Amino acid sequence: MRGFGNWVCVVRRGLRRRVRYSSYRSPQYPSVLGPNLPDVWIPSTNTHRPQSSAIFPKGQTAAIIDGKSIAHDIKSRIAGEILRTKAVTGKCPGLAVILVGKRRDSRTFINIKLKACEEVGIATLIAELPETCTESELLNVVSGFNEDPSIHGIIVQLPLPQHLDEEKVMTVVSPEKDVDGFHPLNMGNLARRGREPLFVPCAPKGCLELLLRLGVQIIGKKSVVIGRSKIVGLPTSFLLQRHHATVTTVHAFTNNPEQITSKADIVVSDVGIPNKVRGNWLKPGAVVIDMGTNLVKDPSSRRGYRVTGDVCYEEAIKVVSAITPVPGGVGPVTISMFLSNTLDSAKRAFGCTL
């Protein structure tokens, strides 16, 4: 790759029950962005309020939402679309990944994404820069990918070293190639009803995908999002509001958070604290989407650690109607959403409506 200096290494690479679903996006699944309904205030009577269906019999342990199965279905659909797109245009989607430094966790996430791309037929480029690279060198790499017509999606793996301005870097990524959905234009359009972002951030999009597939009633329901990060918590709140939920955000400065979450029909957590959400935080019959990914020391494990979520799983399954496990819940679906965003970007560039 020319014009990116000597810092860049570029590589091309071509009663517990488990709930399963078989279709990806059929007419019965609403858009992830939600229905466009007017705000019409109606006198408060139960007969005029949206009613939820009892999809889980009482007295049973929570349904475990199988994210791996759902992700497999989505990837199968994406692979098929890529084959059809290539047959029509002679081209395939292309993704560029930028990695700064040698963080093991970042490398692991990159490898997962590259493997997923290979499985569905997305061509990939990875640009590796040292941790000591300058901001201008990183921005030059981003700009080069912006101008490359064979690249339809750009991912800058976060976090970046402290001397680099993440906000500035994400602003330079073309909104039309921002498959992470972090560009201010995409985030701003997500926050405003009546506007559509080119891309929705992958983890929040995966969260809503799970709720829609589960058939959870969102309109009018009390929803609590624990955490307000710009990557997960904040955009998840935006999406739930677009689906007309009554959304409360719980954060580090919230007083008595357990009292707030215990009234919620839908609880989404992403705080990065193992077992932060206990069983007594949850309303009986609630649906829980655990988006936390935490490494906990475990001498009995071969690796010396295990992965757990924010929710105390053993307590929650005795209370709620459905819950995502960690691992195997939201994570695989998040990866499939990133593949979906890349495919959408390519089809937009190709002018392809397949």
157 is catalytic: yes
Query: Which 8-state DSSP code applies to residue 277?
Result: B
Contact by Cβ (8 Å): 165, 135: yes
Given 66, 73, 180, 270, the catalytic residue: 180
265 is catalytic: no
Count of all residues that appear for the chain in the document: 354
Given 113, 276, 283, 347, the catalytic residue: 113
Nearest one of 196, 210, 203 to 235, comparing CA atoms: 203
Please give the Cα distance from 266 to 222 (Å, whole number): 7
Query: Which 8-state DSSP code applies to residue 311?
Result: B
Contact by Cβ (8 Å): 208, 159: no
- Which helix (H) or strand (E) covers residue 341, if one does? helix 330-350
Contact by Cβ (8 Å): 164, 138: yes
Looking at residue 82, its amino acid is I
Q: Identify the bridge partners of residue 225 per DSSP, sorted by sequence position.
A: 249, 268
Given 66, 73, 75, 157, the catalytic residue: 157
Instruction: Give Cα separations from 245 to 223, 314, 351 (angstroms).
Output: 6, 27, 35
Contact by Cβ (8 Å): 239, 203: no
Starting at the earlier edge strand, list the strands of the sheet with 322-323.
17-19, 63-65, 322-323, 287-290, 266-269, 222-226, 246-250
Contact by Cβ (8 Å): 200, 190: yes
Residue 134, SS3?
coil
Question: Helices 104-120 and 67-89 sit at what angle, rounded to 10 degrees?
Answer: 60
Residue 225, SS3?
strand
Please give the Cα distance from 54 to 31 (Å, whole number): 22
Q: CA 306, 329, 223 angle in degrees (round to 5)? A: 115
Task: Kindly list the catalytic residues.
Answer: 113, 157, 180
